[in-house]
Amino acid sequence: MPQLGARITLALLELENIAHEYRRGGILGGSTANRVLHGISLELVAGATVALVGESGCGKTTLGKIVADLVRPSEGRVVFDGKAISDMSRSEYATFRRSVQFIHQEPYASLNPTSTVGRILEAPLKAHGITKNRREGHARVGELLETVGLSPVDDFRDKYPHQLSGGQRQRVSIARSITLDPRVIVADEAVSMVDVSLRIELLDLLLDLQRRLGIAYVFVSHDFGVVRYFARNHRTAVMYLGHIVELGDTDDIIQRPEHPYTRALLAAVPVPDPDAHDLARPLPLIDSEPPANSSAIPGCKFHPRCLYAVGACRESIPPLEDSGANPDHVTACFLAGTLQHAAAETTPEVRTVRR
């Protein structure tokens, strides 16, 4: 059993020391590298959920694409069912491609605007030889539409994406993701582009598919409120500038956050209380915006924004380890065990940023 400080303990799919950088050419030649992931190790148990939460630009979408092999990492490897993707035979890789699917954030952009819903859902079935003829394909598409709540199916089969609402388009995206009976689905901000009133319906649909089909999720979101609903009784990894800074059971992280960044994310979640008078709650941050160039920051990448940073934070990167209170709750913070006391002594009126 690996130590939690080095890896998130799961089993079906493993990410081993994943790092990634995007390169771009300069005006005068050459190229510059922007490293967006730093030594991420993570595992996923069959039928479970790991939520990735953090601000835009923290690397969570890139990590999700690496899970689905839509992006190849610059360093490290992805292991599925005990075998690295890079070492798979053609048939083994075909099985992997069927087993790991991706739900994109923007359903309109990810659906072919020139194809009907029926053709969109039938395409992967034909490509992988799951249906042998038109009659089988027609029947399977009908089953998929009913599964995601688009019925009567004849009202949707021949429509084009632009003829559907945002929620209906995302249901088509979800239907497409389960056409090949996957074992893992990466849901990248899957409900952020639909009306608030529809989000719970879509989240409940995904949860129902998990219960019925045993699907494991890598659930990507910037919203801790959504994560709490979807990943309750599962695990959450908090990401900051390409690093996992806190990991544990979702409820434990929300109730007992140990990293200052996690506390800031939770403070940013709106409180649905019509009687609340402090609508501009202070965020426990020195700076509301992440740095433009994180590679130039020594030590902990969060220390320029952290209220509690000490000398060690500016000199070295804290390891991801437990603080002693809960071995399943690990945090990359030198002050994780004492943050509760430090937070109580801080004067928010002087040292916090208001939204």
The range of the structural domain enclosing residue 350 comes to 257-355
83 in helix, strand or coil?
strand
pTM: 0.88
Asked whether residue 125 is domain-assigned, the answer is no
**Other residues' Cβ atoms within 10 Å of the Cβ of residue 10:** 17
Asked whether residue 335 is domain-assigned, the answer is yes
Asked whether residue 189 is domain-assigned, the answer is no
Mean pLDDT of residues grouped by 10 in the chain (355 residues)?
Answer: 40 93 69 85 94 94 96 95 94 95 90 95 92 90 96 95 94 96 96 86 96 97 94 95 95 93 89 60 78 83 92 93 84 83 41 35
Q: Are 247 and 329 in contact (CB under 8 A)?
A: yes
Tally of structural domains, the chain: 1
Q: State CA 282 to chain mean position distance.
A: 26
Asked whether residue 84 is domain-assigned, the answer is no
Asked whether residue 27 is domain-assigned, the answer is no
140 in helix, strand or coil?
helix
Taking CA atoms, 116 is separated from 125, 208, 265, 307, in Å, by 15, 26, 40, 53
Q: In 3D, which of 95, 102, 100, 145 has the Cα closest to residue 120?
A: 145
Total count of residues recorded for the chain: 355
Asked whether residue 212 is domain-assigned, the answer is no
**Radius of gyration from C-alpha coordinates of the chain:** 22
Non-local (6+) Cβ contacts of 238 within 8 A are 53, 54, 244, 245, 246, 247, 253, 259, 261, 262, 265
Backbone angles phi, psi at 91, to 5 degrees: -70, -35
Asked whether residue 59 is domain-assigned, the answer is no
Q: What is the pLDDT of residue 292?
A: 75
Q: What is the pLDDT of residue 286?
A: 84
Token pair, residue 137, equals 């394909």
Instruction: Tell me the HSE value of 182 on the side-chain side, using a 13 A CA sphere.
Output: 29
Q: Are 21 and 38 in contact (CB under 8 A)?
A: no
Asked whether residue 308 is domain-assigned, the answer is yes
Q: What is the pLDDT of residue 30?
A: 58
